[in-house]
Amino acid sequence: MITRRSLLEAAGAGSLLAGTGILVPRLVAAQAETQPSLNLSPALPEGTRTGAILDTLPGKKPLIKLSYRPPNYEAPVEYLRTDITPNDEFFVRYHLSDIPRVDAGSWKLAIGGDGANGEIRLGLDDLKQFTAVEVVALCQCSGNRRGLMQPHVPGVEWGYGAMGCARWKGVRLKDLLDKAGLKKEAIEIVLDGADKGVSDKTPKFTKSLPLWKAIEDTTLIAYEMNGQPLPHWNGFPARVVVPGWTGTYWMKHVTSLAAVTKPYDGFWMKSAYRIPLGKFPVVARFSSQETAVNTPITDMVVNSLITSHADGAMVKVGGTITVAGIAWDGGYGMGSVDVSVDGGKTWTAAALGQDRGPFALRAWSLHFVPKTPGKHVVMARATNKIGQSQATVLIPNPAGYHHNLVQSLTLVAA
Amino acid sequence: MRSIAIAALMTALTAFSSAAEERPVQLKQAPGLDKVESNCAGCHSLDYVPMNSPFLSPAGWDAEVAKMINAFGAPIDPADVKAIADYLKSNYGM
């Protein structure tokens, strides 16, 4: 079967063939099918570039290992050429190192809190009695591309691959809250999961959502990902899915939902995952958690990624090449993706791929014939339906969130 | 405190061995490395150190060590704090 990916790989092999003879490129092409390319950005910290390796977690294809424990593994860019990311290519991100293998048979989800009328406990079979809902949604780490921040800020130094888009199936969080019964004083829903720190003094990774977001029709407790049970590394047996919002709220191995009547003040809300107030063009407000200077990160900023070519890729003068990639935002829908092949002087609207809903990745592509030998600087810029475009100047912030600088890479025509 | 750190390290290694294969991360041989290995590796693999280099100032590394202790409750022996910070500044700082 000819897929878009195999076409792109064939195009890549062809360009190598043109440049360096016959035997070597065939070997390169054969290896490329089994092992992805690291293709680390030169903008990453030197120590990140030295330490990052391809490594295979059980049940996964090789991913780019940034840290073993807790496991932080990102997808090579070539895994992001499709608008749905296969489960075994999906990135892995944990904050804390004690990650139990959860047994689906004994797993329970507790729904209660002081903002609920009582507590209920549901097993996986109980959960599946509620109306099943599906949504295609991108899960992207708040700190995706942190490693590209200038100046660098400490943390997991992600390149481009702390993101993946899946078809999630589960039940509405709202339906579960309705079953437990909410008091009118409830303002936030606190989310907890099974993973924790090695020391019992390490704050558990616990998050909260404003009630309005928790009860949106697309906010789910998901037990399936692309038609399969969730992989262990992505939250088996069930995780929270918050379409449009960054991955920090997508609690893996979820064990409890607690409605609360006061703002939740745990470390991961009060101190972590905050952005300066007023600097980013985000729409969704988390008012109960705002301070005079900062606010929890909420919806994703509009962004795009060129996936068809690596920086410095060789292409053929006079040949038609397809520059392609993906685009996304916080759920307002993709308006257009404009591509420049002359370093930003002129821009042309790319063709958009299938619309899988406002929370999904949107594929795009543009044909381009390099007419002259030498360097061609390719750039992509997404604009969403509410008129937001990618940043042209990086917005610095202490934790390195929301990197959506217009990407630029160089193709070398010969 | 040391016994807590070692106990934590054993717990972590036991928990991890059933999950994935962690290869040893060899940091630069220099004074203080033993303190880094015994105090830090219980809670996280040591690849966090080179990953965050070489861009942190001395004050930046002090802040990271303080964050591990104060925010994450790292069971670090108070007598080892300076040696750990000095090692990080000298070998992975700027």
Query: Given an 8 Å threshold on Cβ–Cβ distance, is B43 in contact with A57?
Result: no
Residue A138 inside a domain? The answer is yes
Residue at A159 is within a domain: yes
A251 within a domain of the structure (yes/no) = yes
Among A296, A323, A349, the domain boundary falls at A296
pLDDT above 90 for A128 = yes
Closest of A160, A174, A198 to residue A259, by C-alpha: A174
The answer to whether the Cβ–Cβ distance between A151 and B55 falls below 8 Å is yes
**Residue A45 domain flag:** no
All domains of chain B, ordered by start, with CATH? 2-92 (1.10.760.10)
Q: What is the DSSP string of A286-351?
A: -GGG--SSEEE--BPPPEEEE-S--TT-EE-TT--EEEEEEEE-SSS-EEEEEEESSTTSS-EEPE
Confidence of residue B3 (pLDDT cuts 50, 70, 90): very low
**In this structure, what token pair is assigned to residue B8?**
């934590």
Statement: residue B72 has pLDDT above 60: yes
Nearest CA distance, A201 vs chain B (angstrom): 5
pLDDT in tens, B18-65: 356 789 999 999 999 999 999 999 999 999 999 999 999 999 999 999
Q: Are residues A29 and A156 in the same domain?
A: no
Residue A12: pLDDT band (50, 70, 90) is very low
pLDDT digits (tens, 9 = 90+) for A295-321: 999 999 999 999 999 999 999 999 999
pLDDT tens profile A367-401: 999 999 999 999 999 999 999 999 999 999 999 99
User: Sign of the CA dihedral B33, B36, B41, B46?
Assistant: negative
A94 and A235 in one domain?
yes
**Any domain includes A325:** no
Task: Using CB atoms, pick whichever of B45, B64, B92 lies closest to residue A67.
Answer: B45
Residue A119 sits in the same domain as residue A228: yes
What is the pLDDT, as a whole number, of residue A6? 37
Which tokens is A207 given?
Answer: 């998050």
Rounded to 5 degrees, φ, ψ at B83 are: -65, -40
Q: If you average pLDDT over every residue of chain A, what do you get? A: 92
Q: What is the mean pLDDT of residues A44-73?
A: 97
Across the interface, whether the CB atoms of B48 and A197 are under 8 A apart is answered no
A306 is a domain residue: no
Across the A/B interface, how many CB contacts are shorter than 8 Å? 103
A8 with A141, same domain: the answer is: no
The DSSP call for residue A85 is -
Q: Are the beta carbons of A209 and A191 closer than 8 angstroms?
A: yes
Question: What residues of chain A lie within 8 A of the CB of B17, using their CB?
Answer: none
- A91 and A28 both lie in a single domain: no
Q: Alpha-carbon distance A91 to A161, whole Å? A: 7
pLDDT exceeds 60 at position A358: yes
Residue B18: count other Cβ atoms within 10 Å of its Cβ: 10
Q: What pLDDT score does A33 carry? A: 52
Check which CATH number belongs to the domain holding A188 and give it: 3.90.420.10
- Residues A6 and A98 occupy one common structural domain: no
Query: Using CA atoms, how far apart are residues A168 and A356, in angstroms rounded to an integer?
Result: 12
CA-closest candidate to residue B50, choices A6, A200, A245, A66: A66
* Judgement on whether residues A276 and A151 belong to the same structural domain of the protein: yes
CA gap A245, A184 in Å, rounded: 25
Residue A241 has what DSSP assignment?
A: E
Partnered with residue A213 across adjacent β-strands are: none
Q: Which is nearest to A226 in space by CA: A171, A164, A142?
A: A164
Residue A412 within any structural domain of the chain:
no
Same domain, A211 and A288: yes
Per-residue CA distances from A272 to A59, A155, A249, A265, A267 (Å): 30, 11, 12, 11, 6
Q: Residue window 14-43, chain B: list those with CB within 8 Å of chain A.
A: 15-16, 18-20, 22-23, 25, 42-43
Q: Which of A296, A326, A352 is the last residue of a domain?
A: A296
Contacts of A231 in chain B (CB under 8 A): none
Q: Do A93 and A242 fall into the same domain?
A: yes
In a domain, A217, yes or no: yes
Which of A32-36, A71-75, A225-229, A280-284 has the weakest average pLDDT?
Answer: A32-36
Q: What is the pLDDT of residue B21?
A: 77
Beta strand ranges found along A18-96 (DSSP E): 53-55, 63-67, 72-74, 92-93
Residue of A199, A206, A270 to mutate, testing the B interface (most B Cβ within 10 Å of its Cβ): A199
Q: Is A96 found in the same domain as A4?
A: no
Rounded to an integer, the average pLDDT of B59-77 is 97
Residue A32 pLDDT grade (very low, low, confident, very high; cuts 50, 70, 90): very low
Q: Do the chains contact at A50 and B20, CB–CB below 8 Å?
A: no
φ, ψ for residue A203 (rounded to 5)? -60, 130
Q: Determine the 3-state secondary structure of A74 from DSSP.
A: strand
- Looking at the structure of chain A, the number of domains it has is 2
A257 shares a domain with A130: yes
Q: What is residue A7's three-state secondary structure? A: helix
Q: What is the mean pLDDT of residues A211-215?
A: 98
Domain around A204: 87-296
Average pLDDT over residues A62-69: 98
The answer to whether A180 and A119 have CB atoms below 8 angstroms apart is yes
A296, A313, A340 - which closes a domain:
A296
Interface test with A, best of B52, B57, B89 (most A CBs within 10 A): B52
pLDDT value of position A23: 39
CA–CA gap between residue A225 and residue B4 (Å, rounded): 39
